[in-house]
Amino acid sequence: MDLSLAEKYNLPVPRYTSYPTVPFWKEGLDTDAWRANVAEGLGASKGISLYIHLPFCESLCIYCGCNKKITTNHKVEEEYIDAVLAEWAQYLDLSGKVPVIRELHLGGGTPTFFSPDNLERLINGILSRAVVHPDHSFSLEGHPNNTTRAHLDRLYGLGFRRISFGVQDLNREVQERIHRLQPFENLVRANGDARCAGFDAVNFDLIYGLPLQTLQRLAHTIEWSVALSPDRLALYSYAHTPWLNCSQRLIDEKELPTPADKLALYEQGTHWLEALGYTNIGMDHFAKASDALFLAWKAGRLHRNFMGYTTQATGMLLGLGVSAISDTGTAFAQNDKALEGYYRSVRAKSSAVRKGYFLSEGDRVFRRHILDMACKGRTVFDPAWAAVYEEWTIPILRGMETDGLITLSDNEVCLTEKGRPFLRHACKAFDLHLLYDEKFRGILACGKAAQYGKTFSNAI
């Protein structure tokens, strides 16, 4: 990669699992309108997606920015499952329709913190009032240290076929710095158990940019991970945001790779994965040619939502549990991030939603552009929005075209091979909320905010 381009585009850009992104959502969402929105989507014939957030972990991984609750008290499992099932019942009671579940994912936290019995009770409780689509996809995140064969056998019997193991890094020195001691033999055991239990898809999540990480150590992690032949790997960038995630304050910033070193980790990590037979299909994700995600990417059927890339393009993703996010296609909502607040709402039989967003017509148009770029690497302009493109989007795309990152015509923009590392930046060209926010901050001091506020209001 051209170092000058890397420096030019070395700016924070969202992962675009939603548009508008969460920072632009509003507190105090109209829960009656939200529930009506959900009720309308629950009976979709092509099915819905379910995300269930299971927040508990036995130990703190200090790099992690996820919503989690650290405890070794497994008595919390029962109360939490009761709450999730009660929230599910609230949604089902909004409509007389029986939902068709096409996609179900257990995220965390650490889903395998829960016992096999309790996971079975949770899934059976969900499925007892639903129909499972014939072409369904059930998956979960697992920790190699505590995922047992009993977990895997039980979940396989419930329809799960994909598991993602959080590997992050396989070097002891790095693991000590991030408080995630995870011997390689545990990953070998968990991976083997998943295959023996019948799981036909095993994914590994890796992170680059961690403290004490070097090219040699990343090469070790990738080499040893690929030796276990995962179907898919994710190579995520570590986001050091100690002002948002208090645990990251325990990381010595002097031990983090420099921006140049982090860029080298990304470049070499990508090169090694591709050389070892994995195709870069989009933001951070690499897949074998036999993997369902690769096949969907090749066929132009790839979809992206809060669970990341997926092969299931359902019209609604319903999130259950503390901090869980839902997407009906025309609205977003996020549950209370505090466990006690979530419990209080469910016990009171009231909505656990705390913030969200109803999409305007313009939001839906630009959301489609971002999804098309993220999943297909191209998007077609809508002539009705030509003036908006010209003011907000085209100036950015022209700059990227000059750098050889995209090709631009009157009606279409396409990502080039050179531009693939800058996919998020191409998506950002269609992020009117973020572009306006950046421009507004820049012009606030010179008193022109009202002028741009009117322009932006007209745009969306």
Residue 19 assigned as binding residue: no
Q: Is 325 annotated as a binding residue?
A: yes
Say whether 51 counts as a known binding-site residue.
yes
Nearest-CA neighbor of 325 among 234, 317, 49? 317
Q: What's the CA angle centered on 300, arms 52 and 386, to 5 degrees? A: 100
Cβ count near 443 (within 10 Å): 13
Please state the separation of Cα 337 from the chain's center in Å.
Answer: 17
CA distance 155 to 139: 9
> What's the chain's Rg over C-alpha atoms?
22
Confirm or deny that 107 is annotated as ligand binding: no
Residues 163/199, Cβ–Cβ less than 8 Å = yes
Q: Residue 205 annotated as binding? A: yes
Q: Does 216 appear as a known binding residue? A: no
Determine whether the annotation assigns residue 61 to a binding site.
yes
Residue whose structure tokens are 């002097």: 254
Candidates 209, 219, 106; CA nearest to 164 is 106
Ranges assigned E (strand) in 297-367: 303-305, 308-310, 317-320, 325-327, 331-335, 353-358
Is 163 flagged in the annotation as binding? no
- Calpha distance 456→460 (Å, rounded): 6
Does the annotation flag 109 for ligand binding? yes
- Is 301 annotated in a binding site? The answer is no
The response to whether 234 counts as a known ligand-binding position is: no
Closest CA to 85 of 22, 127, 43: 127
Binding site residues, as ranges?
51, 57, 61, 63-65, 108-110, 141, 168, 180, 205, 239, 325
Q: Which residues define the annotated binding site for [4Fe-4S] cluster?
A: 57, 61, 64
Annotated binding site for S-adenosyl-L-methionine: 51, 63-65, 108-110, 141, 168, 180, 205, 239, 325
